[in-house]
Amino acid sequence: MPGPVPELLSKTIETLYRLESGRVLATLVRLLGNLDLAEEAMHEAFAAALEFWPQTGIPDKPRPWLISTARFKAIDVIRRRARFDGAQRDLAAHMQSRGNEDEEIEDDRLRLIFTCCHPALPPEGQVALTLREICGLTTEEIARAFLVTPATLAQRIVRAKAKIRETPIPYEVPTPQELPERLDAVLQVVYLVFNEGYSAAAGAEVTRAELTGEAIRLGRLLAELQPEAEVIGLLALMLLQESRRAARTSPAGELVLLADQDRALWNSEQIAEGLALVAKALKSRRFGPYTLQAAIAAVHAEAESAAATDWRRIVALYNQLVRIQPSPVVYLNRAVAIAMCDGPEAGLAHVEAVLEHGGLANYYLAHSARADLYRRLGRTAEARASYERALALTQQGPERQFLQERIRQLK
């Protein structure tokens, strides 16, 4: 029996799992050609790290160590199965002969995302499976993004994995002819990964830089693969939003609203690249919701101050966006823009309409937005009740601290 793992090393391995498990799994699927086997081998490799690294120390390159260890674990599994199955015996021999391949292939995760977003899988399962298995989000984090319960989300993942076992889905980027029908689900996955990094579902941090960075990296790969308007628009949107990351929290980790951010902290290189990409996507006249959202982010990026923001332009862009993507969240964001343009009473009417529709009843930002408009109108009791409802719906530390402070100020 191995001894207890030192706390610092255990935390390092936990961090490594969060940062690298997606890449490790993607490479193992390429090597093994089997998602279930790759997942099992990956978990055994991390277990081996907990057992051996306290004695040997952390390798200089942990990811290749994990991939190599997992590959040999998989070979052992295949050999055990080969006692009863001749095909497994051939597979074990093939795996043994391959040796250590280059673990740094850049698009392993992109290939695996396309596999998980195969049209043979149900649409709701495609995105859920990709976010859980490849991008490392928890079931709770994904459920929050979909506004469903964790139990519902877990069933989607189980069904999608069963379908992959039953259907021989190739591990590859689609051909140019197949790409259009596959692209929408992949873009949705990339943006959901970015959103979880931009506004983490829970924990002590507002953002998770490893997720926003990974989403932007995948966005660049997609833009090289298929440089059409919506792919370019998504990359622009992520860059413009990410440009504000350093200004979104105080040195003490407190949440800083957009209107209060120090714009000198915004990343000028990401803004310049994002603005150029927005202009390119809009010029094509074939754009969709990602490009329109990027255009909205561009209005904020170009404003010298919060007071100089062209809110009428933002409302006009949201009016276009709701015509092609009439989701409750888009209507909520439009309502907030209307409040900034025409005053809190006008915005409140739209927020109330969105909440009455029912789709955002458990979305804390909807209640927080309503609370802020009540506060601006001097309706203290209603503001406090809405802030308390928002507080009950979020598990993110800085968000909770912000809401608690708002409630305290209303007493």
pLDDT along the chain (411 residues), means of 10: 67 84 84 84 90 89 91 83 52 48 57 84 83 79 81 90 81 78 86 84 69 89 89 97 94 90 96 97 90 98 95 97 95 97 97 92 94 96 96 89 93 76
Which residue carries 């960075």 as its tokens?
Answer: 213
For residue 205, what pLDDT is reported?
67
Element (H, E) at 202: strand 202-203
For residue 1, what pLDDT is reported?
41
For residue 201, what pLDDT is reported?
62
Element (H, E) at 275: helix 268-283
pTM above the 0.85 mark?
no
Is 383 in contact with 374 (CB distance < 8 Å)?
yes
Q: What share of the chain is helix, strand, coil (3-state, %, to 5)?
A: 75, 0, 25
For residue 82, what pLDDT is reported?
59
DSSP state of 363: -
For residue 88, what pLDDT is reported?
47
DSSP state of 308: G
Size of the chain, expressed as the number of residues it contains: 411
DSSP state of 396: E
Is 315 in contact with 337 (CB distance < 8 Å)?
yes
CA distance 404 to 386: 12
DSSP state of 245: G
Query: pLDDT for 213-234, tens place per residue?
Result: 888 988 998 998 888 999 999 9
Is 367 in contact with 174 (CB distance < 8 Å)?
no
Instruction: Name 283's Cβ contacts closer than 8 Å, sequence gap at least 6.
Output: none
**Token output for 259:** 């209107």
Which residue carries 């990351």 as its tokens?
Answer: 245
For residue 5, what pLDDT is reported?
63
